[in-house]
Amino acid sequence: MNWGLLFTFLIGLFFILGLLVFHISKDKKKMTIFASSCAFVVVLGLIIFDLLPEVIETSNWWSIIFILLGLFLLKIIDIFVPHHHHHHKDIHDNVKEHDEHLNHIGIITVIALIFHNFIEGIGLYSVTLTDVKSGLLLGLGIGLHNLPLGIQIGSLEQDKKNNWLIGVLVLSSFIGGLVALSFGNIPEIVNNLILSLTLGMILHILIFELLGELINNAKKKEATYGIIIGIVVLIIINIL
């Protein structure tokens, strides 16, 4: 059995688990606030403990350029993804526009995570080839990252375009594993390029999207619970 491919496939299922948790929730508004707050902490941890150290370790002078390019690319995507601005006329408009904003965050989050999980799939497959136990622990850590993010992107409207994006996201780690299997090792310079682009994209999500949601809902208990659970997830991941 090819354990590397199995693990890369299974970690994508954590997104589906997160989506299921969101959709069976009785109060989706509270769940969305909780998930956005949790996702903020998890994404922040992803940057501090995962992406940034990897970029620094393999840093070249052009790394900063590609980080900024990642920010710029996601900003371009941001322009073409429907969203709203906070100019509400009444309560109905407020709710409607807020839902559109959550859908907007969900779409660009999915796009950035596809890049990130593709790289993680390559890394997970390579680690598992060396040691299955290490691959299992790494896969569990990645899965715990994916779970709250799956809940957060549950705010996406259910249409064919968004379902297609989510499908690619779920399979993105597995696709990375297949690429690693087919080509042996991805050239380091290509890996570093994609990693830097991904860091820029994730920074955009953290600063310009999730942070705003957290600030707007800072006084709500669901946001507090989300932050606490996010911290617990990070602690568990780092223990593993």
Q: Find the farthest-apart pair of alpha carbons in the chain and give their distance in angstroms, rounded.
A: 59
Distance CA 45, CA 233 (A): 10
pTM: 0.71
Residue 42's pLDDT is: 86
Average pLDDT over every residue of 28-45: 86
Non-local CB neighbours of 63 within 8 Å, separated by 6+ positions: 55, 192, 196
Distance CA 6, CA 208 (A): 35
Distance CA 134, CA 29 (A): 38
Most confident range (mean pLDDT) of 80-94, 178-192, 223-237 is 223-237
Say how many domains are in the chain.
Answer: 1
pLDDT digit string (tens) for 216-237? 999 999 999 999 999 998 888 7
Residue 5's pLDDT is: 94
Structure tokens at 189: 């310079």
SS (H, E, C) the chain: CCHHHHHHHHHHHHHHHHHHHHHHCCCHHHHHHHHHHHHHHHHHHHHHHHHHHHHHHCCCCCHHHHHHHHHHHHHHHHHHCCCCCCCCCCHHHHHHHHHHHHHHHHHHHHHHHHHHHHHHHHHHHHHHHHCHHHHHHHHHHHHHHHHHHHHHHHHCCCCHHHHHHHHHHHHHHHHHHHHHHHHCCCCHHHHHHHHHHHHHHHHHHHHHHHHHHHHHCCCCHHHHHHHHHHHHHHHHHHHC
Distance CA 122, CA 191 (A): 9
Q: Please state, as a whole number, how many other Cβ atoms lie within 10 Å of the Cβ of residue 131.
A: 11
Distance CA 6, CA 79 (A): 37
Average pLDDT over every residue of 157-171: 81
Structure tokens at 131: 């040691």
47-51, 73-77, 132-136, 204-208, range with the lowest pLDDT: 73-77
- pLDDT-based confidence at residue 147 (cuts at 50, 70, 90): confident
Residue 180's pLDDT is: 87
Structure tokens at 236: 């568990």
Distance CA 92, CA 72 (A): 33
Place of tokens 């409607």: 96
pLDDT digit string (tens) for 101-130? 667 667 877 888 888 888 888 888 887 887
